[in-house]
Amino acid sequence: MTGATHVLGIDSGGSGVRVAVARAQTCRGSAEKPLTWSSPTPAVVGDRGIDAHGLLARVEPAARELLREAGVRRLGAVCVGAAGMATLGDDLRATLPGALADAFGVRRLALAADGVTAYAGALGQRPGAVVAAGTGLIALGVVPEAADGSGGGSGLGGGSGSGGGSGWRRADGWGHLLGDCGGGAWIGRAGLEAAMRAYDGREGGSRPLLARLEAVFGPPGELPGKLYPRPDRPAVLASFAPEVARCAVADPVANPVADPVAEAILRDAARHIAEAAEAVCPRLEPSEVALTGGLFRMGEPLLAPLRAELAARLPGIPVAEAAGDPLEGALCVAAALAAGELRLPRDPGLLSVVAQAPLRGASDSWGASDNR
């Protein structure tokens, strides 16, 4: 990457889109903070999956501005991490390599599932398992390739998750209708169901959760009409997860006694999260498990039962603090790719790499194409 000192990372998740530019030493512990841009609006999903042109229309001008701010004219590599890349990423894989090469002159591009960038942000290129949980939830485990290109895929135990043949092991991440069990939308939906049960007078209902539903969304009978037409239903459901956590803890003013229904929802969530980690975690030294994503900011109401579940299911495997988030993971992957040191296994759905030869007579300076 002669003359290219920086890399570009893009994170497209259920809660929005973020872009960052950083020095290529990001994965090696550079103290310099990246320049970032963010939008709370998620990428659009249409008939062809994630809309590549819609995503480009937002991230390209943001990236150009960050590059100008950083004084950067060449990029060593780009990594795009996106929720749904494995199952909804066909348009991204078809469109982004050429579009980003045209826009920025970059010839090294990694297209990754957000679980992969979450893994890289949390553990870098060390063996282990990462559970990434926000609106949704996915768990990935991997044994990265050795520096000489060997290894990857050995020692992965349990489960029948996809990606095992490539070195990746996946559990869940199937979306809020088919899975994402224990994630934010799952917890929020369970809390709203318990509230509606209380509203109807059915068993399993929770009066504290009903009170929180009324405070957040208004009259319970009007909730279906507000929720079902929304294109961002998973995010709306996930927005209620903190209310479940709030009801699970006794509060002298708002909630004198912890709500047993809310507590049970979080215990079930913890069990689902630990099951996903168990399904993908390599059974060898020195594996680690890391938890990353906004869900875990919920704190002890979720983390206490989760620690107990992980200790029971994965005895002897330490739970490490995540070093960074998925955007930092995208920068880490891009930096490793730019240096020729990317050891995370390639996979058609989870992590694909495009390395194009520069066009004859073309400049790799993004500024050269700025006025075309």
pLDDT in tens, 173-222: 888 899 999 999 999 999 999 999 999 999 999 999 999 999 999 999 99
Give the span between the Cα atoms of 160 and 270, in whole angstroms: 20
Give the model's pLDDT for residue 44.
Answer: 86
Contact 116, 344 (CB under 8 A): yes
Mean pLDDT for 324-341 is 93
Output the 3-class SS for 312-340.
HHCCCCCEEECCCCHHHHHHHHHHHHHCC
Contact 60, 368 (CB under 8 A): no
Asked if the model's pLDDT at residue 225 lies above 90, the reply is yes
Give the span between the Cα atoms of 366 and 344, in whole angstroms: 28
Identity of the residue numbered 122: A
- C-alpha distance from residue 62 to each of 21, 65, 301 (Å): 10, 5, 38
pLDDT band per the 50, 70, 90 thresholds, residue 3: low
Quick check: helix, strand or coil at residue 372? coil
Handedness of CA 309, 267, 278, 275 (dihedral sign): positive
pLDDT in tens, 255-294: 788 999 999 999 999 999 999 999 999 877 678 999 998 8
pLDDT in tens, 23-76: 887 555 555 789 999 998 888 888 888 989 999 999 999 999 999 999 988 898
- C-alpha distance from residue 104 to each of 62, 187, 196, 358, 365 (Å): 12, 41, 51, 12, 7
| 363 compared with 139, residue with greater pLDDT | 139
Q: What are phi and psi of 17, to 5 degrees?
A: -130, 135
Contact 110, 352 (CB under 8 A): yes
Give the model's pLDDT for residue 355.
Answer: 80
C-alpha radius of gyration, the chain, whole number = 22
User: What percent of the chain has a predicted confidence (pLDDT) above 90?
Assistant: 59
Mean pLDDT for 12-23 is 88
